[in-house]
Amino acid sequence: MPELPEVETIKNELLPYVVGRTITGVALFWDRIVRSPSVDEFISQVVGREITGLRRRGKYLFFVLGGDGLLVMHMKMTGSLLINPADDRFTRAIFYLDNGSALHFWDPRKFGVMWLAEDDSDISRKLGPEPLGDEFTVEVLSQLLKNRTAPVKPVLLDQSVIAGIGNMYADETLFDSQIHPMKPAGTLSTDEIKQLYGSIRKVLSKALDKKGASVRNYIRPDGNPGTAHDEFNVAHGVGKNCPNCGTPIRRIVVRGRGTYLCPNCQRY
């Protein structure tokens, strides 16, 4: 968290604010947010650069800088990017822009990171296909799952398999496809793979339409929440009942990750 729908929403809503703008200054309030180069070098290489583009890959954001190079950001667990927020208590870095606005890297738990890179090749080669992209098909998913003995839930979370899916959308996807999260990925039938594929795209597209899920710390660049969580069926659902059969939602742990499911609809 943020996952694909949240990072894509951040990208889409930041575009009109940052593209074409020049960074006139940088203020850091948590030096460890910068992964590389050194803090002084980072600031000197960013200030005076125009932001000529903004794109997403998986959960990463790439600010394309005039001349060459990228400013890479990853929100990790609790990060968001805000334009001129009223409350800056959790601001870890500010990028001042030439139109007088300011982009805040807001992160209560200080997990988010950023760095400079020549291009996105080192990141992209480690990531699987984009689940909402044309290159992601039923056949591709079938090959990605083939012969895997790990439970399907951690396979969905593996960014080298599919880029952008995190814990809550994996839970929602598996519920929608009625697959138990502990079922070995390589044992899914052809029909189950087809159902899983459709559920992945359905769940992510719906969440994107709702501007992401503000379950804990995620907020959109203008400070407003996303509303995807209002329609969650099982994610973060302890104390709720299954919307299909009324069975209480159960929480289990799968490979160290809290996992929510309906034990009746998702039998194993």
Per-residue pLDDT reduced to its tens digit, 78-96: 999 999 998 889 999 999 9
Nearest to 99 by CA among 29, 25, 186, 206: 25
pLDDT band at 71 (very low <50, low <70, confident <90, very high): very high
pLDDT in tens, 163-189: 999 999 999 999 999 999 999 999 999
**pLDDT value for 206:** 98
Rounded to whole angstroms, the Cα distance separating 179 from 71 reads 39
Identify the burial level of 192 via C-beta atoms within 10 angstroms of its C-beta, where 0-12 means exposed, 13-18 middle and 19 or more buried. middle
**pLDDT value for 217:** 82
Indicate if the pLDDT at residue 72 is higher than 80. yes
Any catalytic annotation for residue 59? yes
Tally of CA atoms within 13 A in the half-sphere of 229 that contains its CB: 18
**pLDDT value for 40:** 97
- State the average pLDDT over residues 58-68: 96
Which one is catalytic: 11, 56, 59, 210? 59
Which one is catalytic: 2, 131, 154, 181? 2
Any catalytic annotation for residue 210? no
pLDDT band at 109 (very low <50, low <70, confident <90, very high): very high
Rounded to whole angstroms, the Cα distance separating 117 from 263 reads 45
pLDDT band at 231 (very low <50, low <70, confident <90, very high): very high
Q: How far is CA 26 from the centre of its chain?
A: 25
Any catalytic annotation for residue 49? no
Mean pLDDT value across the chain? 96
Which one is catalytic: 3, 8, 130, 172? 3
Which one is catalytic: 201, 202, 250, 257? 257
Indicate if the pLDDT at residue 208 is higher than 80. yes
pTM of the model: 0.95
Structural domains of the chain sorted by starting position, each given as residue range(s) with its CATH number in brackets:
4-124 (3.20.190.10), 138-261 (1.10.8.50)
Any catalytic annotation for residue 41? no
